[in-house]
Structure 1
């Protein structure tokens, strides 16, 4: 049995003084494979104190030195990328091919993107020609608490740790206790890269104890959190008394608007994008809105695409869908599928229960509902599993109304051959991101939403600026 009993604090691996622990469960077999110690208040306080001591020197460090550290982290990470892929697959159930190509690789992509952003980043900026002696200084905010989820562990960790390092912040990272292995490995990499003691600290723990202490700690200047909308609301309340900056990347219920002039692969592409990572994605296009003239054809295509998705163990090679992370997640998804059936949606693929050939593991059938009304539970709640809802619309106006009828606002999608229409819809859809015709957003594009999806912007220049304060200065000597 694997045992994670040390935290990385002040440049050293420190044994946990807490007796609390969490049992790690293999999502494929439902069998325990290890335990992780859960930090108490004292360990969080020690990590924050180390970060506070390290902050003045790190903030004053030449940005070139910070860039050099991140480059070393990148190179060491690249050499251990297969190891990273395997621990991610083990901890959260991603099929090994997905873990290699997308999960572990995301860490490297984000490092490269932030290093590119630093090439064009000005820490000292002129205000404008009307005030030649004024300057705007971009300065690190201070000690930051980073709370990350289990579904894309290294993607989300890299989107926080790397820009915080480059900005000149020191930090305490608390990853999800459901996926602790990848962050432990990253701590080893950062240590090997030569990060000064106290700049990066890692405490494993749960949200109720370690997370809450980070949020309320008076010496933490900022909390960056990725997770559920419910937890995000709790963090905002907990941070209020200390007037922290709070950056939240929360849930989503993305709409994928498919018009009659969309390309032939639009429906199947939408199904695949909804089900990647077993549907455990905040930006998944879980509501497929289809123009009525091609609606039944789209339903048939979605059924065929879902039925073609193979399901298999995390450790097996190949392009298949793995299990969801836990029994709690499995049970929640099963309940929502059952709710969809009871509320009158037409089940066209999948359904409740394990896929054929499985008698254990947290495997969910790739599930598609048609004739969904946007007031149904499956159209309102973030399911976080491989469940797609198809909704018809008559015209652009109705499509936008349905898409925007949600408390969330993370990512929406548009499929149409009409460029002018795509541009109109991109302006009208209420979300932080819009992706069109299957084209992914470019490197350095900010990731984040509006409304109950949070207001953070992660990635590129915007991701760097999240960890900085703006200071305006007059009388600057040139």
Structure 2
């Protein structure tokens, strides 16, 4: 069913049924490659949020006591449904985000299916007990959760929140981005078909200032997990504070990539550029500040220029990079490119002009800047587009100082002679994640940042821990 217009996008999924909104308007989902309307999606209201939270609160009374084996089986059934409806998930993400379908499959869909099974097999952790002296330590689910997910990796973040919450025995209300909500509708149908009890999972799309704010402040929400900009994350935390709910956040990044003098420069620069250009640069972990030894700087600039100019754009099977997610995002990125030029950075290739041959779609050229100072806006602010900045360094102490001179701390990268040589540098970087010599993202490992990149972790065992409350039982000695 790759006809996305057949999805029930005029409805909300609350308490195990599709129902009408209590007054919400419709919001158009635009294909950023064609600029055509894919479909319209209902925007929930405060009353809709109240209904969804009430359903989740009621369902939690029994779901929290469900056996781990039952939750494990249900999560595997959901993963089976994702496999069966993989074409629908690909279409849902690709048509709303603009990522070429053949890339969407491995970049946006395969990993979340793996992660759903990963957390299915960790449901049993909830029934484990620990002994601490004369005490027992029990694990209990945190409660009713409010999830606010982003548009850039919408299924990743859906699964990164929903899967461990279900494994732990939590119930939830999910709010997708207005830009990319369609995969959540596919997932709601999959969850419904898998037989999840009514009220455990609820879907309420809508605007951040309405639905997101209501989830963050709601007295019956025990935890809110947010992925998005640092600015919006601060507002979520403020709204959550009066009810003292647990808050986890995966926010912005401006991540450094240190290439050492002994590294394979060609391989390192190519990988670093492709890391920025994939998903049209709309990746929170993108290594957008490439730090290169001064003595090899112009060689690196030439390699980066070559890589950028080789990038095929579009949405066909030959394309590496699609459009930006929206006209607004395209204009923001073009504005940063113009700002970089105004700041005195050297535009090596790319630029703010419309790419040749693309009169339709929100496309931006893969762009490389050289002669970038770490005080420039393009080196300090998250652009969220296909723009990379090359910065020279004289020695490793300077490279590490430049790398850590940022308000963010989500991701980082090191390319050295080998992994062993990289580790002393890795230990000095202030970031929650580090990619060494092209290492791939790993769903078995924790994901999250430090400083203003947020708090808490997703994926890995730590991703389940976020949804667990510990109870200490003091027994007679």
Give the TM-score, by structure 1 length.
Answer: 0.96
Of 280, 283, 301, 1:281 maps to: 283
1:249-297 per-position Cα deviation (integer Å, ceiling 9, x unaligned): 0011110001121124110010001111000000000000001121111
Give yes or no for the alignment of 1:271 onto 2:273: yes
- Alignment correspondent of 1:290: 292
* Separation in 2, partners of 1:136, 1:417: 45
Which position in structure 2 is the counterpart of 1:188?
A: 189
- Indicate how the Cα distance of structure 1 residues 22 and 302 shifts in structure 2: closer, same or farther if over 3 A, else same: same
Paired with 1:19 and 1:8, the residues of 2 have a C-alpha distance of 14
Partner of residue 251, structure 2? 250
Cα offset, 1:443, TM superposition: 3.5
C-alpha displacement of 1:122 = 5.4
Deviations 1:55-89 (A, max 9, x none): 01000011111001001001111011111101111
Deviations 1:160-192 (A, max 9, x none): 000000000000000111111100000000000
Q: Hey, what's the Cα distance between the residues in 1 that align with 2:318 and 2:89?
A: 18
Q: Aligned partners of 1:347, 1:476: CA distance in 2, in Å?
A: 72
In the TM superposition, residue 235 of structure 1 has moved relative to its aligned partner by 0.4
Once the two structures are TM-superposed, the CA of residue 112 in structure 1 deviates from its matched residue by: 2.6
Are residues 418 and 106 of structure 1, via their aligned partners in 2, closer, same or farther at CA, if it must alter by over 3 Å?
Answer: closer
Verify: 1:18 aligned to 2:23, yes or no: yes
Alignment of 1:112-151 (within 5 A): 112-118=117-123, 121=125, 123-128=127-132, 131=133, 133-151=134-152
Task: Return the offset for 1:106.
Answer: 2.4
Residue of structure 2 in register with 1:334 after alignment = 334
Deviates more, 1:20-29 or 1:151-160: 20-29
Following superposition, the deviation at residue 113 of structure 1 comes to 2.4
Q: Which moved more, 1:102-111 or 1:83-92?
A: 102-111
8 Å Cα contact 1:366/1:386 also seen in 2: yes
d(CA) in 2 for partners of 1:186 and 1:277?
Answer: 22
Describe how 1:73-472 pairs up with structure 2 within 5 A. Answer: 73-118=78-123, 121=125, 123-128=127-132, 131=133, 133-263=134-264, 264-313=266-315, 316-417=316-417, 419=419, 421-472=421-472
Unaligned runs of 5+ in 2: none
Number of equivalenced pairs: 471
Which piece of structure 1 moves more, 276-285 or 262-271?
262-271
Asked whether the 8 Å contact 1:124–1:135 carries over to 2, the reply is: no
8 Å CA contact 2:75, 2:117 repeated in 1: no
Which stretch shows the higher mean deviation, 414-423 or 258-267? 414-423
Whether the aligned pair in 2 keeps the contact of 1:106 and 1:154 (CA below 8 Å) is no
Question: How far apart, CA to CA, are the structure 2 residues paired with 1:476 and 1:392?
Answer: 64
TM-score normalised by the chain length of structure 2: 0.96
Decide which moves more: 36-45 or 14-23. Answer: 14-23
Is 1:35 equivalent to 2:40 in the alignment?
Answer: yes
1:405-452: CA deviation from partner (whole Å, max 9, x where unpaired): 000000100010155541211111000011110112543100100011
Q: SS state of the match for residue 182, structure 1? A: helix
Relative to structure 1, the CA distance from residue 207 to residue 225 in structure 2 (aligned partners, 3 Å threshold; closer, same or farther) is same
What CA deviation, in whole Å up to 9, does each residue of 1:379-411 have, x standing for no partner? 010000000000000111101100000000001
> Structure 1 CA distance, aligned partners of 2:311 and 2:23?
43
Higher mean Cα deviation, 418-427 or 14-23?
418-427
Alpha-carbon distance in structure 2 between the residues aligned to 1:45 and 1:388? 43
| 1:57 has 2:62 as partner | yes
RMSD: 1.5
Paired residues of 2:68 and 2:127 also in contact (CA < 8 A) = no
**How many angstroms does 1:90 deviate by?**
0.8
Tell me, what secondary structure is at the counterpart of 2:447?
coil
